[in-house]
Amino acid sequence: MRTGGYADAASTIISTASHLQFDSKQQIAVACSQRVVGQRVQVLSDRLSRAPLPRPDEVMELVTTGISQQIGDPRIIFQLWGEALFEPEIAELIDTVFHQLLETLRGYLVAWARENRGAAGDEALRWAAEQAPVLLGAFQGHIVQASLRSDFDAAGYRSAFAALFDGDA
């Protein structure tokens, strides 16, 4: 049985900022999500600044494993996506998060295209802009399946994803 969730994520942010006042569980979830995503983007940016450039499946593992470790249960992310359909504050947060991730992923993919595809200049930028939403979608697919499938094989998913890039290296 999985543990964690809002309670664990909330305790993390409340323990470090106990002076803050939250009017609702939703505000706690938003604050926790902002913290977790901010940390994931920072960890990803830090890793991308060091050689060698990680493979796309390693980037996926860094993000998805980190989210699971920080939150404890990937279903929380999936639940927030569902709530974003009805709650403007959460929808705004999700939009901001996706833009942050897309910006980071585009920068990564430009470097990947230069190193592994022999692309330069506008070609690398174009390819990265096209592929960043696909990479984000693969992350989302990982989170959705980890949330809904009891038999989800995260390592197998990442391995199959890596095979998509085998011709690039």
112: which residues sit within 8 A by CB, 6+ positions away? 53, 56, 128, 168
Task: Please report whether residue 37 resides in a domain.
Answer: yes
Asked if residue 19 is part of any domain, the answer here is: yes
What is the pTM assigned to this prediction?
0.79
Total count of domains within the chain:
1
Q: Which residue has the tokens 């174009």?
A: 126
Q: Is residue 109 part of a domain?
A: yes
Q: How many CB atoms lie within 10 A of CB 169?
A: 10
Q: Is residue 169 part of a domain?
A: no
Q: Is residue 1 part of a domain?
A: no
pLDDT in tens, 96-111: 888 988 999 999 999 9
Average pLDDT, the chain: 83
Specify if 145 maps to a domain. Answer: yes
Query: How sure is the predictor about 72, in pLDDT bands with cuts at 50, 70 and 90?
Result: confident
CATH of the domain at 75: 1.10.357.10
Expressed as residue numbers, the domain containing 78 is 6-163
Query: Over the stretch 30-71, which tens digit does the pLDDT of each residue have?
Result: 777 777 778 888 888 898 889 899 998 899 999 888 887 887
**Alpha helix ranges (H) inside 2-55:** 6-16, 25-48
Distance, in Å, from the CA atom of 40 to the CA atom of 82, rounded to the nearest integer, reads: 21
The 8-class DSSP code of residue 1 comes to -
Would 168 be classed as within a structural domain? no
Q: Is the pLDDT of residue 15 over 60?
A: no
Domain assignment present for 124: yes
